[in-house]
Amino acid sequence: MARTNTRITGIFLLLASTFSHAEVVLEEMVITAEPATNNRQPLYGSTLGAALNHEPGVINQSFGPGVGRPVIRGQAGNRVRILQNSLGVNDLSSISPDHAVALEPLLAGKIELLQGPSTLRYASGQLGGVINVHDGRIPESLPAQPLEFTGQYRFDSTNLEHAGIARIDAGWGPLALHLDGVRRTSDDLRTGNGILDHTGGDSRSGSAGLSWIREQGFVGAAVNRLEHKYGVPTFDGANVDIDLKQTRYDLRGEWFDPFPGAGSLRLAYGHTDYRHVEIENGEPGTLWTRRSDESRVELTQRPWGMLTGSLGFQSRHSRLAAIGEEAIVPRTDTANYAGFIDETLTWRKFTFEGGMRVEWQTTNVEGQPLRHDLPVSGALSTTWHLDDHHRLSLAFTSTQRAPQAQELFSFGVHTATQSFEIGNPNLKMEQSHQLELSYHFKHNRVKADINLFHYWVNDYIFFAATGTTDPESGLPVFTAGQADAVFKGFEAQFTLPLLSIAGGDLDLTVFGDLTRGRLDRGGDVPRMPPLRYGLAFNYQREAGSLFLRLTRAEPQNHPGRREAPTPGYVRLNIGGQYDIALPRQARLTLFVQGSNLLDHTIRNATSFLRTIAPEAGRGIQAGIRIGI
């Protein structure tokens, strides 16, 4: 930290909100994905990044419409871990930006965004945070009715996407059954600059889960199959598709009051068999595979005076392999074992939280010495509840991240990023120190949330342009290196009631977020999101809601060395939903959104394809949902 600039500068006190479904606090953001019962807007995006694109501090790292991984506070890849029901997705989306996240966000019931100390329960070195997608495939409670059905149809005019979703939950005695399925097809994307060729897709997903549920707890299992074929834009105009297939098996259980002093014991296990083939001009190319096993056990303690907490153990094993011309990463076996503890002390108007995580990771690569890493992380936070309406939080996290296989041992042509990548087996562990200050106010319809953050990162790992080209491919050479870096920024939101009219409430929200990343040796960290700000109106009544959202993104004139800047843009979205009560407690919901109504050519500063693949142009997303 001594080598970094310790002043927090460039913090703008903008106020923000986005009709999100979340109460934003320092530790955790919760986003509900179901649009039916509470008049909140549905998640319109068909990828995880697109679904969360309007959340404070989150932007979609698109690679065409078939790929969308969230970028949080300028961090992506190995610095944002994506979980499914508290276990890793364990796909290959962190290896390359053209690899899709292997989950279906249209099936999500709740999405958690964890930041600060709470991330240590699941991973270390996650500068951006941890995203936990809950889809209910393993029932944890019996349904309210013996049989519940939800069906949904969605249409998106920007790529002629048709999506159908069905979900069944049934209960019989102590048994609960869950079934779900999604089918989605799309054509080439229409942007503000024309049609983006060969970007259509075809996706299908299905799950079946069964649980045995008693008052003392539950135990259940589920299986899921995902098949996702999508086209990706290319710099040379080649027709490239990725044909992704994944099968996942999950076991999960919880035992309440297992012994004196313990509140609950949760266990989870997941096995993932992932593969995708990269197809160029109709010919199969490189085959990527990853087989993973992850297990987790967590014990929560009963309150002991003013103290509560949990502790647990987590293990992950994976085998990564690639066969073909673009097999730039050798076969790699990775084993990771971690222990973690989190304790919370409540005293008068203060809440103190402390956490620690220790990992032991081995990386076994063909032809290389066995590598051992021991990341150690810790965190402290305090929250001052000034009264029932005001809350002020301060958190400090120190965490380490071990280098991953592609950072250590990549060697070869990476067509997706149009580069020749060379890893560095001598990389050190990344060490980050994170300071976050958060203020939250809520009183009736008035809400305010402001998060300020400042990260000092020693030995930040990134691929940097060398200024040379590979003689055979002619592509620029990028090598993995390290430098100290500083990230700072804010997310802010403020909501004010304007008036009550026609049986409903009209609120005004203003919002903004910014992340700036600088290297200590000079220069900007590549592909940082620009300053975003705007305003929104939300009208809500019992039977439905309407919204208007206007967002301004400033030009990104700090794109990083040898990277292209992006112009600013204005995005206007208008939409709403209407609920209709049907007989026998059934409910019909209609929802619609007009997006990018000004038809601006939007170039995403976090995307590797920002110069050739703009975001979606003017379009309409609409759907119908029925729940029985």
pLDDT (tens digit per residue) in 124-149:
999 999 999 999 999 999 999 999 99
| Cα 402 to Cα 48: distance, rounded to the nearest angstrom | 25
* Mean pLDDT for the stretch of residues 471-494: 94
Residue 37 confidence (pLDDT) above 60: no
Q: Are 334 and 316 in contact (CB under 8 A)?
A: yes
pLDDT tens by residue, 325-368 = 888 899 999 999 999 999 999 999 999 999 999 999 999 998 88
The 10s digit of each residue's pLDDT in 60-110 is: 999 999 999 999 999 999 999 999 999 999 999 998 899 999 999 999 989
3-state secondary structure of 50: helix
Are 294 and 88 contacting, i.e. CB atoms less than 8 angstroms apart?
A: yes
- State the pLDDT at residue 126: 95
Nearest to 438, CA basis, from 351, 355, 363: 351
Residue 194: Cβ within 10 Å count: 11
What integer pLDDT is reported at residue 522 of this predicted model?
83
Whether 23 has a pLDDT exceeding 70, the answer reads no
Rounded mean pLDDT of the chain?
90
- What mean pLDDT comes out for the span 279-298? 95
Q: What is the pLDDT of residues 418-429, one digit of tens each?
A: 889 999 999 999
Q: Are 596 and 602 in contact (CB under 8 A)?
A: yes
Confidence band of 117 (pLDDT split at 50, 70, 90): confident
Q: Is the pLDDT of residue 3 over 60?
A: no
What is the predicted pLDDT for the residue at 42? 59
pLDDT at 346: 95
The pLDDT of residue 464 is 85
CA nearest neighbour of 326 among 16, 591, 98: 98
For the segment 200-214, what is each residue's pLDDT rounded down to a tens digit?
999 999 999 999 999
Is residue 490 exposed (0-12), middle (13-18) or buried (19+ Cβ within 10 Å)? buried
For the cut 60, the answer to whether the pLDDT of residue 22 exceeds it is no
For the record, the structure tokens of 613 come out as: 């693949």
Q: Sign of the CA dihedral 29, 517, 4, 8?
A: negative
| Beta carbons of 378 and 121 less than 8 angstroms apart | no
Q: In whole angstroms, how large is the CA radius of gyration of the chain? A: 24
| Sign, Cα dihedral of 135, 140, 145, 146 | positive
Q: Is the pLDDT confidence value at 32 over 60? A: no
Token digits of residue 496: 């004010």
| Cα–Cα distance measured from residue 59 to residue 509, given in angstroms and rounded to the nearest whole number | 19
Residue 235's pLDDT is what?
Answer: 85
pLDDT single digits (tens) 306-323: 999 999 999 999 999 999
**Does 16 score more than 50 pLDDT?**
no
The pLDDT assigned to 30 comes to: 61
Instruction: With a cut of 50, say whether residue 26 has pLDDT above it.
Output: no
pLDDT of residue 40: 45
14 vs 362, more confident: 362
532 contacts: CB under 8 Å, gap ≥ 6: 59, 511, 512, 513, 514, 551, 552, 553, 554
Tokens of 452: 């300020």
Asked whether residue 15 carries a pLDDT value surpassing 90, the answer given is no
pLDDT tens readout for residues 497-554: 999 998 899 999 999 999 999 999 888 999 999 999 999 999 999 889 999 999 999 9
Cβ contacts of 90 within 8 Å, gap of 6 or more: 270, 272, 274, 290, 292, 294, 316, 318
Q: How confident is the model at residue 2 (pLDDT cuts 50, 70, 90)?
A: very low
Give the domains, in start order, of the chain with CATH numbers. 28-627 (2.40.170.20)
Confidence of residue 28 (pLDDT cuts 50, 70, 90): low
Q: What is the mean pLDDT of residues 394-399?
A: 97
Q: Which of 258, 236, 259, 232 minimizes the C-alpha distance to 244?
A: 232
The pLDDT of residue 119: 94
Confidence at 29, pLDDT banded by 50, 70, 90: low
Least confident of 14-28, 277-291, 356-370, 478-492: 14-28
Cα separation of 185 and 341, whole Å? 44
Task: Identify the pLDDT of residue 31.
Answer: 58
Letter string b/e over residues 89-98, b meaning 16 or more CB atoms within 10 A of that residue's CB: bbbbbbbbbb
- The answer to whether residue 33 scores a pLDDT higher than 60 is no
Residue pLDDT, tens place only, 163-218: 999 999 999 999 999 999 999 999 999 998 899 999 999 999 999 999 999 999 99
Full-prediction pTM beyond 0.85? yes
